[in-house]
Chain A
Amino acid sequence: MKRGFLLGWRGLTPWSALVSVLVLSSCSSDNSSTAPDDSLPPITDSGGVVRVVGNTPADFPAEVFREQYRGALPTTGSAVLRDRSSGTLFTLDGFAFSGPLSEDGVRLPQLSKLSAFWFAWSIFYPGSEIWGRSERVREASIVGDSDCLVPCNQIRRLLPADAIPSLPNPGPPRGAPRMVAVGDLALGYLRAGDLVVGIFDGVEARAYPHNVLWWHEIVNDTVGGQPLSISFCPLTGSALVFSADVSGFGTSGSLYNSNLVMYDHATASLFSQLRREAITGPRKGESLPEIPFVETTWSQWVQMHPDTKVLSSETGFRRDYTRYPYGDYRVNNNDTFSVTDPRPDPLFPNKWAVTGVQVGPTRKAYVHEEIVRQLGLRAVFRDEIEGMPLWIVFDRTSSYLQIFHAGDPSQTLDLEWATAP
């Protein structure tokens, strides 16, 4: 594996950082040294330091995406990808783990992507292409003002800052949330069909269940000495993982177009999660360096990564993590939580799941139900945006949609769904 491409995450821009690769650099049982601020302890686990690097496809030669798979093998019988031509098996993270290409350490680069409810995607990404449809998302424009990149008066405050406590909470010490292994009693709240946000760097897998994110929305974790923020907005159904500074992010108590508005503890700049940038404050205009992640069901994730660490219910807060706190909001067709401008595009039901991606200036929405309608419950298919060849891997049962860069060396691949031996 080449080590010459380590970059600071701050230098990444969200849509230019089309490919971010997580690679292991070393292991240590002491990650306390990576947390300079004792008041904001890192999430604890048994240790392990992972270094994260990233770059754009143009700067990142294809051979860099050769990396021996060093994680636990997928569970026998679980879903994997197979290259028909070589017989090579790939994990759903894109790592070749069995067959000829695994010996070369071939890895399919994941593109940074967003998941969200349809209505939210249509508000934040007007004019997007829609896979399988001739229509585009309804056009609209958003014009900011002198203090904000968006109209300031549309940043609506509903709660005081930190009223929804991020983890670890920066307020009165409550201890650090605990990451545990599969089977730990502190995972009793988690059911097979519950969704998780998963991060895998080639060695270590970590899962952040929606159940916890419903109540906390932001988890500030330190992975391999690199601070990360895992964010989820229950109202727009949107997940985003990005690199952060050690002080982390908190919830501002405000919404912009129904979507989570975060603030960074260091400068109090406000960041729109779905815009992936600071919309006010000293960091206004600064983009969040995105980290690829997988969003899928807990049962799927644990089959992909049986050795995964999971955020437990021991968060320092007393919450019923089995209960969705917003009634039937996630399944009804109510469009918004607060007034939005522009209004949602009515092309699809509001809560349909969308995975979206941007390549160059082109944004594209993959509407899960539209894929089901045209290709069925499970599909692997090619697509192309701005000349970039892509593999789209989709499984509705596990709410999994992954977008891989299909350039060299993977452009010769012919992928299909398979089961792990």
Chain B
Amino acid sequence: MRGRTGAILFLLVMVAAPGAKAGAWVQPQGRLWLKVGSTLGFADEKFANDQIDESKVFANGTRVRAGDRIPFDFTTGGRYRFQSYVVEAAYGVVDRFEISGAVPLLHTRFDNDNNEVEPGTGIGDLRLGFGVRILEGQRGVLSLGGEWKAPTADVPRSVYAQPLGEGQHDFTAWLRAGWSLWPRGWVQFGVGHRWRNANDELGFDPGREWHFRGEAGWQIGPTLGLKTGIEGLEGQPWTSDLFGFDQEIGRRRRWSIAPAILYRLDRFGWKRMMLEVGGAIALAGEDLPVAREIRVAWMMDLGD
């Protein structure tokens, strides 16, 4: 047997989702954009997957279908917690071309009545990317780019230890469009397609994924802004060949709403800095936690 698939791989879908930067506006030449963000996530329920679409156990006889909310771990009262700290950067190499990267520092833990899963703490899978502004009008912009997620994080074989990474290379292509309502607001939309390599070490193929993000923001004062995002993930079924044949594990999908407050720090003398405080609430999905997240981020621009 080549190994055992880690028990909890949920966090990585969220943290590693393309579009974390989510900007259609590619950095101009010489500008460095930095973001340090932290996410605190909780889940004690999950969206049922289609493998148990006729399960009658979880709710004492109530039929459970794919997408229904069920206890995270109905036998031992499991609760999922995670914290992530992600440093992201994007730099405009030339006027229409930027390079980007992200380094996540993670702390994940899965608690249940038995507390037998070792928490994971450390650096997650690193990401490198690029973006190209391909169309630009007076208000609108269209850009495309790509991202490579490298399997740099520790992936324990035991189901009793939290992984920090997934253990395979992923490549994402994205297309983003933005429309500025300067000076008051903006809207943007992004779609990404992620090719996920088969993970030979752990014996599974995570399938491809589509990622979506729509965002609208509005400046309600000289320093205060509001934005709301819709984040979506639609995955193909995972398959495992751990036991010598292609076994479908489940299809992962989730849609969340992510409101946030933006606060410019100019009045404190910190020019071109911004604080973002928000959250994300999972609305629908399959085979993923019903996560509630608190997000805090600090962003700044350097250079021209």
Contact = CB atoms under 8 A, between A and B. Distances in A.
B60 A328 contact: yes
B4 A334 contact: no
A339 B242 contact: no
A160 B54 CA distance: 20
A171 B160 contact: yes
A2 interface: no
A13 to B, nearest CB: 23
Contact of A336 (B1, B54, B245): B54
Contacts of A375: none
Interface string B242-256: 111111111000000
B57 interface: yes
Interface in B15-60: 51-57, 60
A335 B57 CA distance: 10
Contacts, number: 100
B75 interface: yes
A162 interface: yes
B61 interface: yes
Chain B CB count within 10 A is highest, among A162, A319, A335, for: A162
Contact of B243 (A235, A270, A325, A334): A270
Contact of B57 (A152, A153, A326): A326
A337 B57 contact: yes
Contacts of B160: 171-172
Main secondary structure of the interface of A (DSSP, over half): loop
Contact of B56 (A152, A162, A320, A334): A334
A156 interface: yes
A195 to B, nearest CB: 19
Contacts of A263: 1, 243
B54 A338 contact: yes
Contacts of A320: 113
Interface string A136-173: 00000000000110001101111111110000000110
A268 B240 CA distance: 13
A410 interface: no
B246 A152 contact: yes
Contact of B114 (A282, A318, A334): A318
B56 A337 contact: yes
Nearest to A329: B57
Chain B CB count within 10 A is highest, among A153, A263, A282, A338, for: A338
A157 B249 contact: yes
A171 B159 contact: yes
Contact of B4 (A153, A162, A280, A319): A162
A281 B54 contact: no
Interface in A90-122: none
Contacts of B55: 337-338
A163 B248 contact: no
A338 B55 CA distance: 5
B100 interface: no
Contacts of B51: 156-158, 338
Contacts of B240: 157
B136 interface: no
Contact of B158 (A171, A215, A254): A171
Contacts of A326: 57, 75
Interface residues of A, number: 43
A332 interface: yes
Contacts of A270: 243-244
A178 to B, nearest CB: 18
Chain A CB count within 10 A is highest, among B4, B244, B246, B248, for: B244
Contacts of B7: 159-160, 163
A327 B159 contact: no
Nearest to A319: B114
A317 B116 contact: yes
Nearest to A152: B245
A339 B56 CA distance: 10
A269 interface: yes
A265 B57 CA distance: 29
A220 B53 CA distance: 32
B243 A318 contact: no
Interface string A45-58: 00000000000000
B245 A280 contact: yes
A319 B161 CA distance: 18
Given A252-B243, A268-B242, A318-B115, 12 more contacts: A152-B245, A162-B4, A172-B161, A269-B244, A280-B243, A281-B243, A317-B116, A318-B113, A325-B75, A325-B76, A337-B52, A338-B51
Per CB-CB distance, the 6 closest pairs between chain A and chain B, nearest first, are A147-B245, A268-B1, A334-B56, A325-B75, A318-B114, A160-B5
5 contacts: A152-B247, A319-B76, A336-B56, A338-B54, A339-B54
Interface of B: 1, 4-7, 51-57, 60-61, 74-76, 113-116, 158-161, 240, 242-250
Interface of A: 147-148, 152-153, 155-163, 171-172, 215, 235, 252, 254, 263, 265, 268-270, 280-282, 317-320, 325-329, 332, 334-339
